[in-house]
Each structure stands twice: as C-alpha cells, then as structure tokens.
Amino acid sequence: MTLKPLGKVKELVESVGMGVSHAYDDLVFLDHNAFLLQFSNDNRTIIVHTNSEADKKEADKGIARLRNGVLTNGLDIVVAGLYTMSQAENEIITIEFHE
C-alpha cells in the first residue's frame, strides 16, 4: 500500500487560504463543505468533488485557487462530478458520488 501524500495536499490547501478538517481513507475534507478532495490511484492527481448543495460560483472560485496552487507542489487537480452527504439516525455519514 502506498502512503497518501496528505502533507503535500495540506500544504496546497493552506497555501491558498483554506484548511483541512480531517482525512479518511482516500478522502480529504476541508473546513468548508463546498467540495472535498480524493486521492487518485497514482497519489499525484487529486480529484475534486463538488457538493451538490454548494453555491457553484463559490465552489468554482475555490477550485480555481487550488488549480493555481498546484503549480508549485507537483500535484495535479482533476475536477470530477458532484457528491451528496447525508447522515442517518445512527450518526453514520454516507457520501454518494455522482458524475
């Protein structure tokens, strides 16, 4: 198993004025909920999923900031589809990805 470059992603996110709230498996959750990041199989490409409930303009601005930040750290950004997040009564969070 290859280690995920979480440190590089955290540096990228912080360099553009955002913050990482937590990471789980191959997902990186940011302080805001407009989009989340996912490591690809090569760990060099970061996949961006936009929250289906987020303001599209604000999400696009944040993604543009990330794209500008990757120029210096050797990562690539690929924008994927949308995601929805829901929480069941038992406090289990479900994330569903859409294309």
pLDDT (tens digit, 9 = 90+) per residue, 16-32? 999 999 999 999 999 98
Phi first, then psi: give them for residue 83, nearest 5 degrees: -135, 155
The pLDDT of residue 4: 85
Structure tokens at 50: 């936009």
Name residues of the chain where pLDDT drops below 70. 1-2
Closest of 6, 41, 5 to residue 23, by C-alpha: 6
Per residue in 30-39, pLDDT (tens digit) is 998 899 999 9
pTM: 0.89
